A and B are shown apart, each in its own frame.
Chain A
């Protein structure tokens, strides 16, 4: 089965850049999607198909995907960006796979 690995936590200073990685075997050949989940709330799509932002998502959120690692980048981090972030791919055998999740803390 296909697995996605994320760091448990990432800390970023207010106004600086946070990078959250998502590792998977040849993930660069797949479409990667990212979700933000704040405490007590449902997840929200922030990046789809590697680097596309849904309407309403700030330009500060960007994504890239190559080789065995996909990355979600949060520029000029704000206190409101504190949340759990999950990557996700669709795999032909495992179907929908979520990453293990990363807790982002803004210091």
Chain B
């Protein structure tokens, strides 16, 4: 069955960096687009970034553009999110998600990122 397991979350100071990872299993990872989606405490869902199956096409939300970098390693069945210049408003649960063109069909359980001094 499809499994997406995020890791790398934690507490970081404003201006700091963090790298999230997502280990995928149960499907042919290299065939699928992937996304990161976040949810601030008590708030709604916010799309963060999207990467095509080969990694050749990448999109970012305006709120993270220039600070976050999405990447993937199809040989390792892994998705990554490098987060730099973190702000308090980046505090959220970050979900790794399998994308089917224009929607998500599977979500991981999420990893919490807290940005606080």
> Any chain B CB within 8 A of the CB of A88?
yes
**Chain B residues, CB < 8 A from A44:** 107
**Chain B residues, CB < 8 A from A86:** 44-45
Would you call A42 and B95 a contact (CB within 8 A)?
yes
> Any chain B CB within 8 A of the CB of A48?
yes
Q: Which of A12-27 contact B (CB under 8 A)?
A: none
Would you call A98 and B105 a contact (CB within 8 A)?
no
Chain B residue with the shortest CB-CB distance to A86: B45
Q: A31-B102, A90-B102 are in contact. Are A96 and B107 (CB under 8 A)?
A: no
Chain A residue with the shortest CB-CB distance to B106: A45
- Distance of A61 from chain B, by nearest CB (Å): 15
- Distance of B107 from chain A, by nearest CB (Å): 4
**Chain B residues, CB < 8 A from A31:** 102-103
The number of chain B residues touching the other chain, given as a range, is 20 to 34
**B46's contact among A41, A49, A98, by CB below 8 Å, is which?**
A98
- Distance of A85 from chain B, by nearest CB (Å): 11
**Chain A residues, CB < 8 A from B104:** 33, 35, 43, 45, 88
Q: Which of B52-109 contact A (CB under 8 A)?
A: 59, 61-62, 95, 100-109
User: SS class of chain B's interface: helix, strand, loop or mixed?
Assistant: strand
- Distance of B43 from chain A, by nearest CB (Å): 8
Chain A residue with the shortest CB-CB distance to B95: A42
> Any chain B CB within 8 A of the CB of A73?
no
Q: A96-B35, A98-B47, A101-B45 are in contact. Are A45 and B110 (CB under 8 A)?
A: no
Would you call B95 and A98 a contact (CB within 8 A)?
no
- Distance of B23 from chain A, by nearest CB (Å): 15
CA distance A84 to B43 in the complex (A): 11
CA distance A89 to B104 in the complex (A): 11
Chain B residue with the shortest CB-CB distance to A34: B103
Would you call A101 and B107 a contact (CB within 8 A)?
no
Would you call A95 and B47 a contact (CB within 8 A)?
yes
Q: Which of A23-67 contact B (CB under 8 A)?
A: 31, 33, 35, 37, 41-45, 48-49, 54
